Structure 1
Amino acid sequence: MSGLINAMEGFAVIGIVIGVGYVAARMRIGGPQAQMVLNRFSFFISSPCLMFATLSQQELSTIFHSSIIVAFLSAFLVALAFFLLNRAFFHMDLANATVGCLNSMYLNSNNIGLPVATYILGNPGLVAPILVMQQALFTPIALTTLDIATSGKASAKKILTQPLHQPLLIGSLGGILVSWISSQAGTFIVPNWLFDPINMIGESAVPMILMAFGMSLHGSRPMGKDSDRSATATVVVLKNVAMPIIAFLLAYFLMGFRGTTLYGCVVLAALPCGQNVYNYAARYNVGMRFARDGILLSTMTSPIIIALVALLLG
């Protein structure tokens, strides 16, 4: 029970930082461009540093744990479900549909996943496979799609070179490379005078993303008249309900996981949608309200789902 309480405290911390962003926007601190500046700085600088610092210190066996198969398939299936539902009912364009797929599948593996993995599962390294999967696979695909959908241009060269323009992917792959070289050398190869500033900058990513998200709430009404309530409710159900169920079925029957590994797969699948999705939507100025509403409702309902999973499997 104490572990569950500590995890809920993690949600409270996130809510407070979002609230600070809202108050800052209400008081006009930073001016009208503050939200955009925070989003861009996090996207291009802080978040890549965070991914590098996090992954470079993880062992490769942890980064590529077999649970990544469960995380990949469950995320892929809920994204596919939203894509098909969009074709049948919502009829969003490609850019907004991409935001919807991300809302359905993208896990908040940093600022919620880390405390949940630490306090409920007892191993913060369990989020490493999710970090790799999202930053090295799903994020480049989604951002490439958004880039093409918003620019209206598509070419083989543009698609092949797009990953080179994604700071998050570069930071993630750099961290994995350092982890591998360090394992071969038997010691961490990055000197403290270089790693410490990278880590310091990376630690600013989460609060900046959360405060920018809070700023976006000022002057707007979540699930207002202009929002697509049906699509938003759909992505929240897919993310918070369908994904943990799919993860349980895959982990139990396909992978044969039991005990803490099974429990970890389901709990992590029940994490809310990550604020990164709003950061990506803001980067391309598309689907921002859709992303914001989905993240907000997912974050509000996720603690209930995680508590139920803890009671059933913990």
Structure 2
Amino acid sequence: MAGLLSAMQGFCVIGIVILAGYVAARMRIGGSSAQMVLNRFSFFVCSPCLMFAILSKEPIFDIFHSSIVVAFLSAMAVGAIFLVLNRLFFHMGAADATIGALNSLYLNSNNIGLPIATYILGNPALVAPILVMQQALFTPVGLTVLDVATKGEASAREIARQPLHQPMLIASVLGIVVAAVSDRVGRFIVPDFLFDPIDMIGDAAVPMILMAFGMSLHGARPMQSRTDRNATITVTVLKNIVMPLVAFLLAYFLMGFRGPTLYACVVLAALPTGQNVYNYAARYNVGLTFARDGILLSTLTSPIVIALVAVLLG
């Protein structure tokens, strides 16, 4: 119960930072471009530093824990389900459908996942495989589709060069390389005078993303469009209900996990959609309302689902 209370406190902290962004927008602090500036600075500077700082100090075997199989397959399952439902009912274009798929499968593994992994699961390293999976696979694939869809053209050369345009992927790969080399030599190879400023800049990423998200809520009327409303409810159900169920089935029957490992897989699958999805939507100026509403509804309902999982499996 104490762990569950601590996790709920983590949600409260996140809500307060989002509220700060909303209040700043309401008071017109930073002007009309403040939200865009926060999004872009986080995307290109702070978030890559955060990914490098986290992954470079993770034990290499924790980064590639076998639970990544459950996280990958459950995420792929709900993303595919959304794309099928979109084809049948919502008929969104490629860019908006990509945002919908990311809304369904992208976990808030950092600013919510880390507190939950720490306070409920007792091991913050459990989110490391998810961080790697999302940054090394889902993010570059999603951003490549968004890039191609918004430009209206594609070439094999441009698609092959897309990873070079993704600062978070580059930072994640560098972090993994540093973790592997450090594990090999038996000490952390990056000197403090280089790591500390990277870590300091990375600490600003989560507040920036949350406040930019809060700014987007000012003057907005969530769930107004009927099509977007139905799609938003769909991605929330996929993210917060279907994905934990799929994760349980995969972890229990496919991987044979039991006890704390099974519990961890299901709890982490019940995390809400990451605010990064809104960051990506803002970067390409597509699906902004859809991304915002999906993250908001998922974040509001996720604590209920996590509490239920804690009661059933904890």
**How would you bin the TM-score normalised by the shorter chain?**
over 0.9
2:238 corresponds in structure 1 to 238
Tell me if the contact between 1:227 and 1:289 (Cα under 8 Å) persists in the aligned partners: no
- CA deviation after TM superposition for structure 1 residue 225, in Å: 3.8
Q: Which residue of 1 aligns with 2:290?
A: 290
- Match of 1:193, SS state, is helix
Query: How far off its partner does 1:228 sit?
Result: 1.2
Aligned-partner Cα distance in 2 for 1:95–1:173:
26
Does 2:279 correspond to 1:279?
Answer: yes
CA distance in 2 between counterparts of 1:152 and 1:158 reads: 12
Provide the TM-score with structure 1 as the length reference.
0.99
- Equivalent-residue separation in structure 1 for 2:185 and 2:121 (angstroms): 30
TM superposition shift of 1:226:
6.6
Percent of aligned pairs with the same amino acid: 74
Task: Report the more deviating stretch, 77-86 or 221-230.
Answer: 221-230
Equivalent AA in structure 2 for residue 235 of structure 1 = V
TM-score by length of 2: 0.99
- The alignment's C-alpha RMSD in Å is 0.6
The count of aligned residue pairs is 314
Q: 1:54 and 1:167 mapped to 2: Cα distance?
A: 15
Moved over 2 A (4+): none
For residues 1-314 of structure 1, the aligned pairs below 5 Å read 1-225=1-225, 228-314=228-314
Structure 1 CA distance for aligned equivalents of residues 305 and 175 of structure 2? 32
Matching residue's letter, 1:113: G
1:262 counterpart letter in structure 2: L
CA distance in 2, matches of 1:13, 1:217: 17
> How many Å separate the matches in 2 of 1:90 and 1:144?
22
In the alignment, the residues of structure 2 paired with residue 173 and residue 228 of structure 1 have an alpha-carbon distance, to the nearest angstrom, of 35
Gapped regions of structure 2 (runs ≥ 5): none
- Output the CA distance in 1 between the equivalents of 2:36 and 2:186: 42
Matching residue's letter, 2:229? R
AA at the equivalent of 2:296: L
Unmatched runs of 5 consecutive residues or more in structure 1: none
- 1:106–1:120 Cα change, 3 Å: same
Is the Cα contact below 8 Å between 2:42 and 2:209 reproduced in 1? yes
Q: Is the 8 A contact 1:227 1:290 kept in 2?
A: no
Q: In structure 1, the residue corresponding to 2:29 is in which secondary structure? A: coil
| AA partner of residue 248 (structure 1) | F
- Give the SS at the match of 2:153: coil
